[in-house]
Each structure stands twice: as structure tokens, then as C-alpha cells.
Amino acid sequence: MQLKKYLKNFQKLNLLIIIFFLVSCRTVDDDAVTSVDFEPEVGSTESNLWMEFDIMEEKTKTSPYTIKDKELNDYVKKVFCKLQPDYCQKIRIYITRIPAFNATMAGNGLMEIWSGALLHLENEAQLAAVIGHEFGHYFYRHSIKRYEHREGVKAITNIFNIASMLGSAYIQMNPYGMYNYDIFSALQIGSIGVHLAQMSIFAYSRGQETEADIYGLECIIKSGYHADEAPNLWEKLTKSQKLIGNNPNYFHFTRTHPTNNQRIKDLRDKIKELNPDQTAFIGQKEFNQVMSKFREQWVKDDLTLGNLKKSKFLIESLKYNKDLPGEKDFFMGEYYKALHFLEKNKKKKEEYHKKIVRHLKISTESDTEFAPPLLSLGSYLIKNNPEEGRKYLKKFVDLKPDNPYSKLIKMEFLE
């Protein structure tokens, strides 16, 4: 009787699955896109999601980590408007001081780019590729599609869990039930079904990332940017990630993004198919003119993470502003400062000390109007070599008399 009751319940379970698919039809088709004048229907799931994104945006606006520099924000917005002139007023872009490579896009038009991403980028074409990718998520309405897919998978997972629970309950009441093929099959189907349903979430996310990659590539080509800079960025990011012990090409079923190698291959294949102009715009000079004044802060932020091999790679691979010839040696001096601080071996500390002084002195000599290495070298030397330390601090004060540090330096060391 118990077996028959279980089988009857299991048949009802099949009916539940059918009912689920009948009542849980998605509200957004796979091919739905966001038009310029699109607004979600009031009271819809998508409208509720947008309300949550609006709350996120208000927090981002007032966050102390949001960089509000007008020149930087205007430049990034200008690149976006070049890519998508029709959506120029629709998308709000925020740059956040977080030293990691990331950018995000919300369904309501909120785009966020982290400072760590801007530090990795080498030119305007790469910035355009990142922006184009993120806008692709918005254009294809990935937020609502991902949400509805995830909710559907949750429902299916619950159904498979019920199947497993019923089978387990029967076995507890009748231990010999384990030898019943129908019961054992129900247990296996339930367990496998849960795992397959969960894996489909990750596969769906990877598909959206690929779709956004290709959309971003097509955007930059259409807007006159050099297509190769999109895969070039991923090649650089791969090297960077490996230096912190990550393997961006290791595939596992719970990956939400494709492997870097797969992304590079997909982009290169699409470039080959589209055969774009190989003399298109790269924009290294334009990019550097805006980013240079932030790099000191962003490099120091990256150094604080403690992944110093990766930091050195970034410093050495940056495309520097030719108007700031002392920039690279200054950053190398800061890199060796971090190594010196962490090192316990006296001999190695002495080696790092020499490299700190050498790089910072080269920086001060190659650009006498570049103030940061003067402050860095002076503050580094002041304890053990006060006379020389004061010399560099005085040069800094003379060059930047209105700098907040200058008043403190004059009070503590120059009077």
C-alpha cells in the first residue's frame, strides 16, 4: 500500500511539473531588447527589479568611493555616447574607487566601472570594449532574463527535492524499499535533477557574457575603434590573474563567465568574420591624458592588496603619458617600498632600499616638475638621512606650496 501511495504521489509530482511550466511562462522573450524609450510595466517583476537598482544607484551616488572628478566622468561618458548616441542620456555611469578589475550593468541603466579596471586598460579602444560589453547586458535585458531563469530553476529544483524527500521518507518507513527499482530511480532522478538545474544557471550566465562580448565588439567596430583591442585586453587580464594564483582558463561547471581563452577565441573568430579596418582608432594618448592624474592613487591602492607580482606587471605594462617621463620610475619606487616593508631578511631589505632610492631619484631627475616622487623620496629618507630627506621635501613644498602636505612638512621638518 505504501509503495502504491508513493507512486501515486510521484504521479502527482509529474502533474506539478507540467503545471509549473504552464503557469511560469517567462514575461520576457529570449530575443527581447531594450529600446531607447523602454520603461517596464508598473507592477511587473522587471519594474520591481528596477526599483531595487534605483536604490543601489542612490547609494552609489553618495558613496565616498565614487570618483566625482568631472574630467574623468565626462571623458568616460563621451566614449559611451560615441558608441551609443541614441542611449546617451539613458545610461548613468559611475566610477568607483575599488582596486579590482570589474564593471557592472544594471537593468535600469546604472553602469559602474571600478578603478582597478581603468588601471588595467591601455587605451580608449579598450575602455570602449568594456563599456560596449556592459551596455550589451542592458540592451539584451540580461538582468530580468537572468532573474526569471533563476527563479524557474529554483522551482524545478524544489520539485526534484520533493521527489528525493518522498523516496527517502518511504525508505525510512520500509528499509527494503532501497531495493525497489522505482524508489531508487526516484532518488537518483531527484538528486541528478537538482544538480542539472543548478548547473543550468551558470551555463545561462556564461551564455549572456558571450552575447555581451560579441555585442561590445560590434559596437566598437561600428564606432571606429580598433577591434583587436578587445581580445588584447583579455590577454593582458589573463597574465594579470595568473600572477595572483588564479587560473582564468580553468573550466568548471559553476563558472558564471566563460574562460578567458574562450572569450579571446570567440572575439578573434568574430573579428576574422567581420574583417574590420586594421588602421582604426586606438586612442592611447587621449586615454593617458585623462587617466594620468589618477594613476598614483590607483597604483598605491593596488599595492595595498599585497599581490605585488601582479602590481609590478601592471606598472611595467602601463602605456605611460610621454608628458610625464618620471611616472614609471616613481611607481617602481613605490613597488619596492612595499617589498621593503614586507621583507624580513636584512640583506634583501638593503637591496630594496637601494632600488627605492635609485628609481625615485631617476624619477625626480627625469621630470623636475613631477612632485609625487619628491614627497615619496623625502619622506622615505627623512628618518635615517634627515639632511637629504629635507632637501627633497623642500623641493616638494616649493613646487606644491598649496598642497595639504606642504604645511605639515614646513611645521615638522623645515622650520
> Which domains, from first to last, does the chain contain?
1-282 (no CATH), 294-412 (1.25.40.10)
pLDDT score, position 362: 98
Give bridge partners of residue 105 from the DSSP assignment. Answer: 111
Q: Which pLDDT score, from 0 to 100, does residue 144 have?
A: 80
The answer to whether residue 113 scores a pLDDT higher than 50 is yes
Would you place residue 200 in the very low, low, confident or very high pLDDT band (cuts 50, 70, 90)? low
Tracing cell 506539478 back to the chain, one arrives at 16
CA distances from 170 to 16, 188, 193, 211, 294 (A): 20, 14, 19, 46, 65
Let me know: does 373 contact 357? Beta carbons within 8 Å: no
This prediction's pTM = 0.83
Given this model, what pLDDT does residue 212 score? 93
Question: Beta 92-96 vs 66-67: how paired, if at all?
Answer: antiparallel
C-alpha grid cell, residue 13: 509530482
Average pLDDT of the chain, as a whole number:
85
Residue 300, burial from CB neighbour count under 10 angstroms (0-12, 13-18, 19+): middle
User: For residue 142, is pLDDT > 90?
Assistant: no
The pLDDT value recorded for residue 250 is: 58
